[in-house]
Amino acid sequence: MSPRPEQWLQVRPQGLYCEPGGFYIDPSRPVDRAVISHGHGDHARPGHQRVLATAGTLAIMKTRFGEDAGGSLQALAYGEHLAVGEVELWLAPAGHVLGSAQIVMQHAGKRVVVSGDYKRRPDPTCALFEPVPCDVFITEATFGLPVFRHPHDADEIDRLLASLRVFPERAHVVGVYALGKCQRVIALLRRAGYDAPIFIHGALAEMCELYRAEGVELGTLLPATAAAKAAMAGQIVLAPPAAIADRWARRLPDPLVAMASGWMRVRARARQGGVELPLVISDHADWDGLCATIAATGAGEIWVTHGQEDALVHWCTTQGFAARPLTLVGYGDEDEETALPAAQETIQVAAKSAAQEGGA
Ligand SMILES: [Zn+2]
């Protein structure tokens, strides 16, 4: 009898291990052979002997880790099939950030798809998610509660532009994560017709350059330190949430703090974090996106990991899917969305110090 997927996919201390392929998926510590879904720090880590990923993800890893990106790096295009040990492996677009991929494994007559992080909404900075028919779908569940229903990103960008019209004397500081969210917010602003220069914190520059090199149009970007304080009135400034508390933020005129994240759906959390303009823009699937995707794969069996597993597992069982949580450790630590609670504290500090200085 053929081995079942739970026999050949094993949870080990390093992460999810595909035994017949001899590789780990997004391992949390250095391993001999790793397949990486995307470049966020909790999925792509340095020091593996061999790394297999899309060219976009490898470029991100090289930018972030330099020599430590891996002993040997092998790029696989979306849809390109590769035999790895006894497994047929390919990558499909995950729609999360540039280069992000679902990992598809075919072995012993069964197909298993590991979603990695994903979203279903179109994003001008990366390839659209493609559902892959499979027997077992291993899905993330960052926003796996029915309360999470993301609005249209264009409407959220319109709210930012409307605020800019109402408060032309204030610098609009938008908290964004360096990989993905930053470039998406810029691209959405351009799409909405905003063609003025956009100011960026230095920590965002390298990844913006990488996106540009990969063909993503971002328009004119200037260092946040490039202009005099008065000239920053009515400008949009993007900064990593953790950097908003830095000294440089205080030199902006009467900063209005915005934050682009799926967690901004929880208004209390935004208020608590001192965010004046919460923008619900997420790179993860919302509740409806998760449910629709599970149905679209046609999988009879769903394994739910890193996020709100319980509610989604429950929903799956009510819909007739066999479902279970898959406990993998090490995710969410550095991910753009799940890192938010700590980031909000820094926003709060920044907003307070700006208020104390009178916002001149
Ligand atoms: Zn991610």
CA of 205 to the centre of ligand 1 (A): 19
Query: What's the 80 CA to ligand 1 centre distance in angstroms?
Result: 22
State the distance from the centre of ligand 1 to the C-alpha of 284, rounded, in angstroms: 8
The alpha carbon of 150 and the centre of ligand 1 are apart by a number of angstroms equal to 17
Q: How far is the CA of 263 from the centre of ligand 1 (A)?
A: 14
**How remote is the CA of residue 103 from the centroid of ligand 1, in Å?**
14
Rg over alpha carbons for the chain, rounded to the nearest Å, is 21
Alpha carbon distance 259, 63 (integer Å): 25
At residue 307 the predicted structure's pLDDT band, cuts being 50, 70 and 90, is confident
Q: What would the mean pLDDT of 212-224 be, rounded to a whole number?
A: 96
Whether the CB-CB separation of 321 and 299 falls below 8 Å is answered with yes
**Distance between Cα 179 and ligand 1 center (Å):** 9
Distance 46 CA to ligand 1 centre (A): 16
Q: Answer yes or no: are the C-beta atoms of 111 and 104 closer than 8 Å.
A: yes
Q: What is the pLDDT of residues 22-44, one digit of tens each?
A: 999 999 999 999 999 999 999 99
Q: Which residue has the tokens 């007559």?
A: 109
Pairing of the two strands 136-141 and 87-93: unpaired
CA of 44 to the centre of ligand 1 (A): 9
Inter-residue contact 99 to 34 (CB < 8 Å): no
Q: Residue 344 above 50 pLDDT?
A: no
**Coil, strand, or helix at residue 39?**
coil
Distance CA 183, CA 46 (A): 23
Extract the tokens encoding 335.
């991910």
100-155 confidence digits (pLDDT tens) = 999 999 999 999 999 999 999 999 999 999 999 999 999 999 999 999 999 999 99
Q: Which domains does the chain have, with CATH numbers?
A: 5-147+283-328 (3.60.15.10), 153-281+341-356 (3.40.50)
What is the distance in A from the centroid of ligand 1 to the CA of 40?
Answer: 5
Task: Give the Å distance between the CA of 20 and the centre of ligand 1.
Answer: 26
> What digits encode the pLDDT tens for the residues 146-181?
999 999 999 999 999 999 999 999 999 999 999 999
Residues whose CB is less than 8 angstroms from the CB of residue 289 and which lie 6 or more positions away in sequence, other chains included: 119, 120, 121, 150
Distance 206 CA to ligand 1 centre (A): 18
336 C-alpha to ligand 1 centroid (Å): 6
For 308-337, how does the pLDDT look when each residue is reduced to its tens digit (9 = 90+)?
899 999 999 999 999 999 987 666 644 545
Query: Can you tell me the distance from the alpha carbon of 311 to that of 327, in angstroms, rounded to the nearest whole number?
Result: 15
Extract the tokens encoding 163: 């605020």
Which band of pLDDT confidence, cut at 50, 70 and 90, is reported for residue 246? low
Listing DSSP states for 203-226 in one string gives HHHHHHHHHHHTT-----EEETTS
Distance of CA 26 from the midpoint of ligand 1 (Å): 11
The pLDDT confidence band at residue 304, using thresholds 50, 70 and 90, is very high
Q: State if pTM tops 0.85.
A: yes
Distance from residue 140's CA to the centre of ligand 1 (Å):
10
